[in-house]
Amino acid sequence: MSGKPFRFRLQNVLSLRQREADQAEAALAQAQRARSEQAAVVAEAVGAQNRLSAQYAQAQAGGIRSVRQHEGFRRDAHRRVADAQRLLDAADRRIAEAKRVLRLHRTNAETLDTLRKSHAEAHERAQRDAEMQQLDEQALRVYARHSS
């Protein structure tokens, strides 16, 4: 098949959309890593809180001052768990947003790629049709020359 090679006029836009999808995928991976790290912080804070709760009996044996001090430690541990959990929830929201953005960019890129494929197929079809027409005309000329 001879003729003009196919050139998709929106190739630059397609490349941009694909790059945006790649960046969105990287952002999602980063958000998931951050969430994993925050989940470890929550687990550690909960572990510290549980260890303090287990030591309550020892604090009671130490008297009222020891119990009050232990209660202060437990309140701090509870606050650390709550703060860490809030940060974990925020990380979950960032992941959800990153997934939404990734879906949007992938859809945009896939739509343009589908359009590119459609245009490429139409170009190939037009090239084949032009070649067939050229062959038909050539065959008619040969036939006309031999019939006269």
CB burial of 56-77 (b: ≥16 within 10 Å; e: otherwise) equals eeebeeeeeeeeeebeeebeeb
- Can you give the pLDDT at residue 21? 97
Mean residue pLDDT of the chain comes to 92
- Can you give the pLDDT at residue 2? 63
- Which percentage of the chain shows pLDDT scores above 90? 74
pLDDT digits 0-9 by tens, 42-52: 999 999 999 98
The whole-angstrom separation of Cα 82 and Cα 84 is 5
Tell me the backbone φ, ψ of residue 6, rounded to 5 degrees. Answer: -70, 135
Six token digits for residue 68? 């009050």
